[in-house]
Amino acid sequence: MSKVWFITGSSRGLGRSLTEAVLAGGDKVAATARNPETLNDLVERYPDLIYPVKLDVTDKAQVVAAVESTIKKFGQIDVLVNNAGFGIIGATEAYSDEQVRSQLETNLYAPIEITRAVLPYMRKQRSGRILQISSIGGRVGNPGLTIYQAAKFGLGGFTEALGKEVKPLGIWVTSVEPGGFRTDWAATASLSYPPDVEGYEETVGTRKALFSSGNFVPMGDPAKAARVMIELANNPEPPVHLLLGGEAVAMVKQATIARNEELDKWLPVSTSTNADDAVDFTQTGLGKSFFGTGK
Protein backbone atom coordinates (compact mmCIF):
# COMPACT_ATOMS: atom_id res chain seq x y z
CA MET A 1 0.00 0.00 0.00
CA SER A 2 1.36 3.41 -0.95
CA LYS A 3 2.21 5.97 1.72
CA VAL A 4 1.73 9.71 1.96
CA TRP A 5 4.91 11.61 2.85
CA PHE A 6 5.22 15.18 4.11
CA ILE A 7 8.78 16.37 3.44
CA THR A 8 10.12 19.82 4.33
CA GLY A 9 12.98 21.35 2.39
CA SER A 10 12.18 19.28 -0.70
CA SER A 11 13.88 21.51 -3.23
CA ARG A 12 17.54 20.85 -2.41
CA GLY A 13 20.04 18.59 -0.71
CA LEU A 14 18.91 15.43 1.06
CA GLY A 15 15.29 16.61 0.87
CA ARG A 16 15.39 16.74 -2.92
CA SER A 17 17.07 13.34 -3.19
CA LEU A 18 14.50 11.81 -0.83
CA THR A 19 11.55 13.40 -2.61
CA GLU A 20 12.72 12.07 -5.97
CA ALA A 21 13.27 8.57 -4.58
CA VAL A 22 9.87 8.45 -2.83
CA LEU A 23 8.06 9.55 -5.99
CA ALA A 24 9.98 7.06 -8.11
CA GLY A 25 8.81 4.34 -5.73
CA GLY A 26 5.17 5.26 -6.26
CA ASP A 27 4.37 6.94 -2.96
CA LYS A 28 2.68 10.34 -2.70
CA VAL A 29 4.55 13.39 -1.43
CA ALA A 30 3.49 16.74 -0.04
CA ALA A 31 6.74 18.44 -1.02
CA THR A 32 7.26 21.70 0.79
CA ALA A 33 9.63 24.48 -0.17
CA ARG A 34 9.93 28.23 0.16
CA ASN A 35 9.79 28.36 -3.64
CA PRO A 36 7.61 25.48 -4.88
CA GLU A 37 8.33 26.35 -8.52
CA THR A 38 11.71 24.67 -8.00
CA LEU A 39 9.73 21.42 -7.99
CA ASN A 40 8.11 21.98 -11.40
CA ASP A 41 10.17 19.27 -13.08
CA LEU A 42 8.89 16.73 -10.56
CA VAL A 43 5.32 17.94 -11.03
CA GLU A 44 5.68 17.27 -14.76
CA ARG A 45 7.04 13.77 -14.14
CA TYR A 46 4.71 12.78 -11.28
CA PRO A 47 1.56 14.92 -11.58
CA ASP A 48 -0.64 12.49 -9.64
CA LEU A 49 1.82 11.83 -6.83
CA ILE A 50 3.36 15.16 -5.85
CA TYR A 51 1.64 18.03 -4.09
CA PRO A 52 3.97 21.05 -4.00
CA VAL A 53 3.34 23.26 -0.98
CA LYS A 54 4.77 26.70 -0.29
CA LEU A 55 6.10 26.69 3.25
CA ASP A 56 8.35 28.82 5.39
CA VAL A 57 8.87 26.38 8.27
CA THR A 58 9.30 29.25 10.75
CA ASP A 59 5.79 30.55 10.03
CA LYS A 60 3.36 28.67 12.29
CA ALA A 61 0.28 29.73 10.31
CA GLN A 62 1.85 28.36 7.14
CA VAL A 63 2.76 25.14 8.94
CA VAL A 64 -0.82 24.56 10.07
CA ALA A 65 -2.19 25.42 6.63
CA ALA A 66 0.30 23.13 4.87
CA VAL A 67 -0.58 20.16 7.08
CA GLU A 68 -4.33 20.76 6.78
CA SER A 69 -4.16 21.14 2.99
CA THR A 70 -2.17 17.90 2.73
CA ILE A 71 -4.81 16.05 4.74
CA LYS A 72 -7.48 17.55 2.49
CA LYS A 73 -5.53 16.53 -0.62
CA PHE A 74 -4.43 13.01 0.33
CA GLY A 75 -6.53 12.14 3.39
CA GLN A 76 -3.60 11.24 5.65
CA ILE A 77 0.09 11.67 6.43
CA ASP A 78 1.99 8.45 6.99
CA VAL A 79 5.58 9.72 7.06
CA LEU A 80 6.74 13.14 8.24
CA VAL A 81 10.29 14.15 7.35
CA ASN A 82 11.54 17.32 9.03
CA ASN A 83 14.45 18.03 6.72
CA ALA A 84 14.56 21.81 6.24
CA GLY A 85 17.52 23.46 7.94
CA PHE A 86 20.75 25.36 7.50
CA GLY A 87 23.98 26.15 9.31
CA ILE A 88 26.10 29.20 10.03
CA ILE A 89 29.76 29.00 11.03
CA GLY A 90 31.28 31.46 13.48
CA ALA A 91 32.45 32.13 17.01
CA THR A 92 29.65 31.98 19.56
CA GLU A 93 30.17 35.55 20.77
CA ALA A 94 30.18 36.87 17.19
CA TYR A 95 26.64 35.80 16.26
CA SER A 96 24.03 38.51 16.03
CA ASP A 97 20.79 38.00 17.96
CA GLU A 98 19.02 37.53 14.63
CA GLN A 99 21.46 34.81 13.56
CA VAL A 100 20.99 32.94 16.84
CA ARG A 101 17.22 33.12 16.55
CA SER A 102 17.18 32.05 12.90
CA GLN A 103 19.29 28.97 13.65
CA LEU A 104 17.08 27.90 16.55
CA GLU A 105 13.81 28.75 14.80
CA THR A 106 14.65 26.80 11.64
CA ASN A 107 16.56 23.86 13.06
CA LEU A 108 14.71 23.25 16.35
CA TYR A 109 11.49 25.18 16.84
CA ALA A 110 10.22 24.47 13.31
CA PRO A 111 10.55 20.66 13.50
CA ILE A 112 8.85 20.72 16.88
CA GLU A 113 5.94 22.81 15.57
CA ILE A 114 5.52 20.70 12.43
CA THR A 115 5.62 17.52 14.48
CA ARG A 116 2.99 18.94 16.83
CA ALA A 117 0.79 19.83 13.85
CA VAL A 118 1.01 16.32 12.35
CA LEU A 119 0.73 14.27 15.54
CA PRO A 120 -3.06 14.60 16.03
CA TYR A 121 -3.64 12.97 12.63
CA MET A 122 -1.14 10.17 13.29
CA ARG A 123 -2.64 9.63 16.73
CA LYS A 124 -6.09 9.17 15.22
CA GLN A 125 -4.65 6.80 12.60
CA ARG A 126 -2.76 4.91 15.34
CA SER A 127 0.19 4.81 12.96
CA GLY A 128 2.92 6.99 11.55
CA ARG A 129 6.63 7.53 11.07
CA ILE A 130 8.52 10.71 11.90
CA LEU A 131 12.06 11.20 10.64
CA GLN A 132 13.84 14.17 12.17
CA ILE A 133 16.83 15.00 9.98
CA SER A 134 19.35 15.99 12.60
CA SER A 135 23.12 15.76 12.16
CA ILE A 136 26.27 14.26 13.54
CA GLY A 137 26.35 17.76 15.04
CA GLY A 138 23.52 16.61 17.27
CA ARG A 139 25.78 13.97 18.81
CA VAL A 140 29.27 15.51 18.78
CA GLY A 141 30.02 19.21 19.30
CA ASN A 142 32.59 21.10 17.24
CA PRO A 143 33.87 24.70 17.24
CA GLY A 144 32.25 27.20 14.93
CA LEU A 145 28.88 25.45 14.91
CA THR A 146 27.69 26.00 18.47
CA ILE A 147 24.29 27.48 17.68
CA TYR A 148 23.51 25.03 14.88
CA GLN A 149 24.56 22.15 17.10
CA ALA A 150 22.60 23.46 20.08
CA ALA A 151 19.53 23.12 17.87
CA LYS A 152 20.48 19.65 16.66
CA PHE A 153 21.28 18.36 20.16
CA GLY A 154 17.87 19.69 21.20
CA LEU A 155 16.20 17.96 18.26
CA GLY A 156 17.82 14.67 19.22
CA GLY A 157 16.54 14.96 22.78
CA PHE A 158 13.07 15.90 21.59
CA THR A 159 13.07 12.89 19.27
CA GLU A 160 14.16 10.44 21.95
CA ALA A 161 11.58 11.62 24.49
CA LEU A 162 8.79 11.85 21.91
CA GLY A 163 9.52 8.34 20.67
CA LYS A 164 8.80 6.94 24.13
CA GLU A 165 5.67 9.06 24.39
CA VAL A 166 4.03 8.00 21.12
CA LYS A 167 5.24 4.43 20.63
CA PRO A 168 2.08 2.99 22.26
CA LEU A 169 0.11 4.88 19.59
CA GLY A 170 1.86 3.06 16.75
CA ILE A 171 4.03 6.06 15.91
CA TRP A 172 7.80 5.60 15.52
CA VAL A 173 10.22 8.53 15.71
CA THR A 174 13.83 8.45 14.50
CA SER A 175 16.60 11.02 14.64
CA VAL A 176 18.53 10.64 11.38
CA GLU A 177 22.07 11.90 11.95
CA PRO A 178 24.15 12.33 8.78
CA GLY A 179 27.81 13.14 8.63
CA GLY A 180 29.11 14.93 5.56
CA PHE A 181 27.05 14.38 2.41
CA ARG A 182 27.65 15.63 -1.10
CA THR A 183 24.96 18.31 -1.04
CA ASP A 184 25.23 22.10 -0.92
CA TRP A 185 25.14 22.23 2.91
CA ALA A 186 28.68 23.57 3.17
CA ALA A 187 27.80 26.34 0.74
CA THR A 188 24.69 27.35 2.67
CA ALA A 189 26.69 27.23 5.90
CA SER A 190 28.95 29.89 4.42
CA LEU A 191 26.27 32.37 3.46
CA SER A 192 26.09 34.44 6.65
CA TYR A 193 29.38 34.28 8.46
CA PRO A 194 29.52 36.25 11.69
CA PRO A 195 32.56 38.54 11.77
CA ASP A 196 35.91 37.03 12.78
CA VAL A 197 36.94 37.48 16.40
CA GLU A 198 40.57 37.57 17.56
CA GLY A 199 41.63 34.49 19.47
CA TYR A 200 39.58 31.87 17.61
CA GLU A 201 41.90 31.38 14.63
CA GLU A 202 42.88 27.81 15.55
CA THR A 203 39.35 26.63 16.35
CA VAL A 204 36.60 28.49 14.52
CA GLY A 205 38.99 29.83 11.90
CA THR A 206 40.25 26.38 10.95
CA ARG A 207 36.74 25.00 10.50
CA LYS A 208 35.56 28.02 8.54
CA ALA A 209 38.54 27.70 6.22
CA LEU A 210 37.78 24.04 5.65
CA PHE A 211 34.20 24.65 4.54
CA SER A 212 34.92 27.75 2.51
CA SER A 213 37.93 26.31 0.67
CA GLY A 214 35.94 24.02 -1.57
CA ASN A 215 38.43 21.23 -0.79
CA PHE A 216 36.20 19.36 1.64
CA VAL A 217 34.72 16.33 -0.15
CA PRO A 218 32.19 14.53 2.08
CA MET A 219 31.88 10.74 2.05
CA GLY A 220 28.08 10.55 1.91
CA ASP A 221 25.97 9.88 -1.20
CA PRO A 222 22.53 11.60 -1.00
CA ALA A 223 20.86 9.00 -3.23
CA LYS A 224 21.99 6.20 -0.93
CA ALA A 225 20.78 8.16 2.09
CA ALA A 226 17.36 8.52 0.44
CA ARG A 227 17.11 4.76 -0.07
CA VAL A 228 17.97 4.16 3.57
CA MET A 229 15.31 6.61 4.75
CA ILE A 230 12.67 4.89 2.63
CA GLU A 231 13.69 1.54 4.11
CA LEU A 232 13.55 3.16 7.56
CA ALA A 233 9.95 4.25 6.99
CA ASN A 234 9.03 0.64 6.23
CA ASN A 235 11.02 -1.04 8.98
CA PRO A 236 8.79 -2.60 11.66
CA GLU A 237 11.11 -1.45 14.48
CA PRO A 238 13.21 1.52 13.37
CA PRO A 239 15.97 2.87 15.64
CA VAL A 240 15.66 5.98 17.78
CA HIS A 241 18.97 7.29 16.42
CA LEU A 242 20.50 6.38 13.07
CA LEU A 243 23.90 7.63 11.96
CA LEU A 244 24.48 8.01 8.22
CA GLY A 245 27.95 7.90 6.72
CA GLY A 246 31.34 6.63 7.78
CA GLU A 247 32.40 10.06 9.05
CA ALA A 248 29.50 10.14 11.50
CA VAL A 249 30.21 6.63 12.76
CA ALA A 250 33.90 7.38 13.33
CA MET A 251 33.15 10.62 15.17
CA VAL A 252 30.59 9.02 17.49
CA LYS A 253 32.85 6.08 18.27
CA GLN A 254 35.67 8.45 19.20
CA ALA A 255 33.36 10.67 21.24
CA THR A 256 31.89 7.66 23.06
CA ILE A 257 35.34 6.49 24.16
CA ALA A 258 36.18 9.98 25.44
CA ARG A 259 32.86 10.32 27.27
CA ASN A 260 33.16 6.92 28.93
CA GLU A 261 36.70 7.72 30.06
CA GLU A 262 35.51 11.01 31.52
CA LEU A 263 32.56 9.29 33.22
CA ASP A 264 34.80 6.73 34.85
CA LYS A 265 37.36 9.35 35.93
CA TRP A 266 34.75 11.51 37.65
CA LEU A 267 32.45 8.70 38.85
CA PRO A 268 33.50 9.00 42.52
CA VAL A 269 32.65 12.70 42.44
CA SER A 270 29.32 12.03 40.73
CA THR A 271 28.22 9.43 43.27
CA SER A 272 29.59 11.37 46.25
CA THR A 273 26.53 13.62 46.10
CA ASN A 274 24.10 10.78 46.92
CA ALA A 275 22.16 11.03 50.17
CA ASP A 276 23.52 8.72 52.87
CA ASP A 277 20.41 6.53 52.75
CA ALA A 278 20.11 6.47 48.95
CA VAL A 279 19.61 3.08 47.27
CA ASP A 280 20.74 1.98 43.81
CA PHE A 281 18.38 3.81 41.44
CA THR A 282 18.54 1.05 38.83
CA GLN A 283 17.13 -1.42 41.37
CA THR A 284 14.13 0.67 42.39
CA GLY A 285 10.75 0.33 40.70
CA LEU A 286 11.08 3.80 39.23
CA GLY A 287 14.58 3.05 37.97
CA LYS A 288 13.52 -0.21 36.35
CA SER A 289 10.65 1.63 34.67
CA PHE A 290 13.03 4.33 33.41
CA PHE A 291 15.40 1.79 31.90
CA GLY A 292 12.72 -0.55 30.59
CA THR A 293 13.75 -3.52 32.75
CA GLY A 294 10.53 -3.87 34.69
CA LYS A 295 7.72 -2.09 36.46
Cβ atoms 107, 85 nearer than 8 A: yes
Cβ atoms 50, 29 nearer than 8 A: yes
- Per-residue burial over 274-287, b = 16 or more CB atoms within 10 Å of its CB, e = otherwise: eeeeeeeeeeeeee
Catalytic residue among 46, 95, 121, 148: 148
Cβ atoms 167, 155 nearer than 8 A: no
Catalytic residue among 152, 175, 200, 208: 152
Sheet bearing 28-33, strands edge to edge: 50-54, 28-33, 4-7, 79-82, 128-133, 171-178, 241-244
d(CA 67, CA 134): 21
The verdict on whether 134 is a catalytic residue reads yes
Residue 198: partners with Cβ closer than 8 Å, 6 or more residues away: none
The verdict on whether 46 is a catalytic residue reads no
Catalytic residue among 10, 11, 134, 175: 134
Cβ atoms 118, 65 nearer than 8 A: no
Residue 11: partners with Cβ closer than 8 Å, 6 or more residues away: 31, 33, 34, 35, 36, 38, 39
Annotate 134-174 with DSSP letters as a single string: --GGGTS--TT-HHHHHHHHHHHHHHHHHHHHHGGGTEEEE
d(CA 18, CA 230): 8
Q: Is 53 left (phi over 0), alpha (psi -120 to 50) or beta?
A: beta
Catalytic residues: 134, 148, 152
